[in-house]
Chain A
Amino acid sequence: MRKKRFRRIVIHVALIAICATAAAPFLWMLATSVKTVAGAAAYPPQWWPHPWRWRNYLDLFNTRQYHFLLWTRNSLIIAVLVVTGTVISSALAAYGFACIRFRGRGVLFALMLSTMMIPFPVTMVSVFIVFHWLGAHTGIPFLGTFKPLWIPAWFGSAFNIFLLRQFFMTIPEELSEAARLDGCSELGIFTRIILPLSKPALSVVALFAFLGVWNDFLGPLIYLQRASQFTLALGLQSFQSQHGGTSWNMLMAASVLVMLPVLLLFFIAQRTFIEGIATTGLKG
């Protein structure tokens, strides 16, 4: 009995130490974000902000040269387009892989899985050239617009197709067979039976897609040129390269701003997050 209690205490102490290390950077960021410029640069550093300056957050939006409102809007537009496109196109492909038996399905599925192994930098140069070429030959501008950032999302992404396919496979086939006998079309089965039953899996895909696009830095860095078009991630970096090393308080306030939607989403959909991430590893 005694040994057991001792063990439990050791585990608690170890976990508290790990969690303190995980949380400290957040707390330090939050504290810095409400300090004055002088407060953030004070030596020795202040543990506690003095005075508290909540206005830093307002200033981010009010100061003309920062564009934070515009960057938030840009990020949201791209995120909505990417999330919608990813969910629709990945669900379509997943249905094809999970619910329809046809020749060559196995080969195509293996091909799709293998694309998961291709790192983004491998194709980024030639995809950029493809968009450059498209722009030159169609007269529609692609470079310097949002298009290269969201159009690919409407053509399915391997990881999400795989995730949804695994989920669709668990739905009893009798349901769609019965609908088929009643004369329901394949598209009808997909929208009326499979999709309503797959809400948990679809929300996992939407979450991952949102995280991916919200966190993306390299894509916007390559395709966006004018500061007024930047996403929050890219804007934050340009803000740092202009004001970095001096106004740490503003930089931390801006970082909080970039993180905020992700954190809010996490606390709203905590279960979806944890279960979604847990299943990715097990089915892999």
Chain B
Amino acid sequence: MATSRSELRNLVKGLAFLSPWMIGFAAFTAIPIGLSAYFSLCNYPLLQPPVFVGAQNYTDLVHDGVFWQSLWNTLYYALLALPLGMAIAIGAALLLNSKIRGLSIYRTLIFLPSLTPAVAGAMIWLWLFNSKLGLINLVLQKLGVAHPPGWLVSPRWAMPSLALMSFWGIGNTVVIYLAGLQDVPRELYEAAEIDGAGGLDRIWHVTLPCISPVIFFNLVMAVIGVVQNFTAPYIMTGGGPARATYFYTMYLYDNAFRYLRMGYASAMAWVQFLLVLALTGLAFWSARHWVHYQGR
């Protein structure tokens, strides 16, 4: 009896401390997700009550060219930005993980851009990418490029421009990688050196496997982030030119808050949710083959 009473008391105490979070979870996560499942089956122009239409919104999505284009754009951006961004971040972290002077200054300078508020960053790059007066084309012309690209105003270059800009804000992941690198046991390097492994061999066979959990964490976070990319393209290109940078979340936003098609937007939100689940699921599944956890 005594144990069960103290157990009960602990349960009450525990739930009391958790109650703000639990109320918030219900009000701002669980109920909205449930509601959006229902709204996704409705025609709901916000100012009139929702009318049940079954799977109509989803079949409309399948036939909606703009939906597919925004999905493809998002995927294209992910393919441009993620792998290269990861390589650059790991490379910078490897450089920083050496015993040289001025390290903290280098680290600060690499980290700072990632603190820039997204809107301010968008303004800076809008100016840098300016095809006539921007710093980038100015430097390219000095280097002898006669006809530098129009960047954001060119349908072909707009998306690569956004990916290029994303590399600038990569400093926070560099700091995470660096912390991971500093945890790699010295003995492993020494053992590899005795075995005659060269510098690149050591990176490939010792460093990368050791920091693979950190790589995995950053990969999952980056995937979740890239799927909701909105602010930079909304401000810098408005989705253009010719919808070349029209991202998934922009189309969702437009449906909900510009055309007030809440049901259609809810269906898009559910597709996005399932997409994120599928992608992170894929990442977790693949992790078995390349992520090595040390016995910690």
User: Interface of A with B (CB < 8 Å)?
Assistant: 8, 11-12, 14-15, 18-19, 21-26, 28-29, 32, 40-41, 43-45, 89-90, 92-93, 95-97, 100-105, 108, 111-112, 115, 117-130, 132, 152, 154-156, 161, 186, 190, 211, 214-215, 217-218, 222, 233-234, 236-237, 240, 244, 248, 251-252, 254-256, 258-259, 262-263, 266, 270, 273-274, 277-282, 284
Contacts and interface: CB of A to CB of B under 8 A. Distances in A.
Contact of B228 (A90, A104, A121, A256): A121
A112 B25 contact: yes
A233 B171 CA distance: 21
B109 A23 contact: yes
A11 B98 contact: yes
Contact of A117 (B7, B138, B224, B249): B224
Contact of A43 (B39, B132, B135, B217): B132
Contacts of A256: 120
Given A92-B20, A217-B231, A125 B265 contact: yes
A264 to B, nearest CB: 11
Interface string B84-96: 0000000010011
A186 B95 CA distance: 48
Contacts of A186: 13, 17
Contact of B92 (A18, A117, A123): A18
B252 A22 contact: no
Interface of B: 7, 10-11, 13-18, 20-25, 27-29, 31-33, 35-36, 39, 46, 92, 95-96, 98, 100, 102, 105-113, 115-120, 123-128, 130, 132-133, 135, 138, 168, 171-173, 175-180, 183, 214, 217-218, 224, 227-228, 230-231, 234-235, 249, 252-253, 256-257, 262, 265-266, 269-270, 272-273, 276-277, 280
Which DSSP category, helix, strand, loop or mixed, fits chain A's interface? helix
Contacts of A248: 127, 130, 133
B119 A236 contact: yes
A89 B39 CA distance: 30
A252 B135 contact: no
A38 to B, nearest CB: 12
A10 B165 CA distance: 26
B135 to A, nearest CB: 5
A281 B18 contact: no
Contacts of B95: 11, 14-15, 18
Which DSSP category, helix, strand, loop or mixed, fits chain B's interface? helix
Nearest to B169: A22
A9 to B, nearest CB: 10
Contact of B11 (A102, A123, A222, A237): A102
Nearest to A261: B117
Nearest to B139: A24
B227 A129 contact: no
A127 B34 CA distance: 11
Contacts of B92: 15, 18
B21 A236 contact: no
A282 B256 CA distance: 38
Nearest to A111: B25
Nearest to A14: B95
A219 B133 CA distance: 32
A22 B224 contact: no
A278 B231 contact: no
B133 A28 contact: no
22 contacts: A15-B106, A29-B127, A44-B138, A89-B24, A96-B15, A108-B22, A112-B21, A119-B273, A120-B228, A121-B228, A123-B33, A123-B36, A123-B269, A124-B256, A125-B39, A126-B269, A128-B256, A128-B257, A155-B27, A156-B20, A156-B21, A190-B17
Given A122-B272, A152-B28, A155-B21, A22 B13 contact: no
Nearest to A233: B119
Nearest to B269: A122
Contact of A222 (B176, B214, B257): B257
A108 B27 contact: no
Contacts of A214: 117
A281 B214 contact: yes
Contact of B115 (A8, A11, A45, A262): A262
Contact of B252 (A32, A93, A121, A251): A121
Contacts of A284: 217
Contacts of B100: 8, 11-12
B180 A282 contact: yes
A6 to B, nearest CB: 13
Contacts of B28: 123, 127, 130, 152, 155
A159 B211 CA distance: 22
A252 B123 contact: yes
B116 A259 contact: yes
Contact of A152 (B24, B120, B214, B218): B24
B288 to A, nearest CB: 17
B116 A262 contact: yes
6 A-B pairs with the lowest CB-CB distances in the bound complex, closest first: A155-B24, A96-B17, A281-B176, A278-B179, A156-B21, A126-B32
A119 B108 contact: no
B36 A270 contact: no
B132 A122 contact: no
Contacts of B22: 108
Contacts of A118: 29, 33, 273, 276
